[in-house]
Amino acid sequence: MSGIYLDHCVEVLAQDADRDQWLRVRRQGIGGSDCSAVMGMSSYASPYTVWEDKTGRASAVDESEAMRWGNLLEPVIREEAMNRLGLTFGLLGTLRSLERPWQQANLDGWASDNAVIECKNTGSWMAPDWDGQVPDHAELQCQHNMAVTGATHAWVAGLVGGNRLRIARVDRDPELIEAINAEEDQLWHEHILTDTPPPADPSTATLAALRRRWPVEDRAVELTDPDLIAQAYDLAAEWKAGQRQEAAGHAMKRRAESASRLLMQGANRLTVDNQTVAQIIGGTWAPKKFEEAEPDAAAHYRKKVDVIDSAALRAEDPELWRKYQSQVFKAYPLTRNEG
């Protein structure tokens, strides 16, 4: 198997190493799966959670159902994608950049055209992110892995909803790689090596990590440093201002929805020149509310396992089913035609 990666990186752990070895080596650098978090573009992680992981503060994460299926399906996705592309592939272990020893990569494969392979298994609700494109996190992971290996392109194969394989080519983006290298370098040298947490960010991942790290205790932290006192006052004011903006935003949304519903008079769409301005769509179904309000119907549609057979209810009495379905209001601002 050919491999330009040999000029750019070295294999520091064999592909068949056990999980404990893999976890130990993984903490010795920043990998492709960390990239979107470092860049502040992950829904599940952040620079802070990466710092926690690399400094040994993060709790061990058990394999979730989604992770397990992703691991089980990776070989199938990879083989089918390469078959469709007419390429062969090889498997590599953990790679470490020769130029940036803190930058590592665990590839899903190395294609015979000297390309990185990245495989994803995702739900059907993510389909729009795969239509003619690849999700941001996959793009960033590919660019990171190309930075490590020197590859000029990557093949991304995404199995969407278990039955639709999307294959896309991602070309090397030197400017994006430069930005990735800079952010990862800063996190590694200024925070991970110095054991200094990165600044707080607005992500839910960071907030959740801090809540896990420090369960609330009945005690006070008394600040005496003038700079920290000033910071605490500023943060309290920032939180209060955010609370006011949040309340004002909710009030604006409620008023706009109520006024729109007055115009809609029970319809589910509001249009101008055949373009939808506002729409009411069905959301999640509320079985508890249904059971409390409709005990007789609930008893009729209760399965043997003591769960409401909502599918049967929807098929036989759709009006009653919709009565306990939440409503989601959406507005679509249009450019006003002044003529």
CA 268/CA 113 separation, integer angstroms: 52
Domain ranges of the chain: 4-192, 264-331
- Using the structure block, give the residue that is written with the tokens 């994803």: 120
* Number of helices (H), then strands (E), in the chain: 12, 11
Decide if pLDDT at 37 tops 90.
yes
Decide if pLDDT at 40 tops 90.
yes
Cβ–Cβ < 8 Å for 147, 177: yes
Q: Where are the alpha helices (DSSP H) in the chain?
A: 19-26, 35-38, 47-54, 65-85, 136-149, 174-186, 204-213, 226-264, 287-293, 295-300, 310-316, 318-323
Residues 291-300: tens digit of each pLDDT: 788 888 877 7
Residues 184-243: tens digit of each pLDDT: 999 999 999 999 999 999 999 999 999 888 887 888 889 899 999 999 989 989 988 998
279 falls in which pLDDT band (50, 70, 90)?
confident
CA 200/CA 166 separation, integer angstroms: 36
CATH of domain 4-192: 3.90.320.10
Predicted TM-score of the model (pTM): 0.75
Burial of residue 42, with CB atoms counted within 10 A of its CB: 0-12 exposed, 13-18 middle, 19 or more buried? buried
Q: Taking the CB of residue 45, how many other CB atoms lie within 10 A of it?
A: 23
CA 302/CA 140 separation, integer angstroms: 47
Percent of the chain with pLDDT over 70: 89
Closest CA to 121 of 81, 83, 149, 92: 81
Q: Which range among 72-86, 119-133, 261-275 has the greatest average pLDDT? A: 72-86
Query: What H or E segment, with its residue span, contains residue 117?
Result: strand 115-122
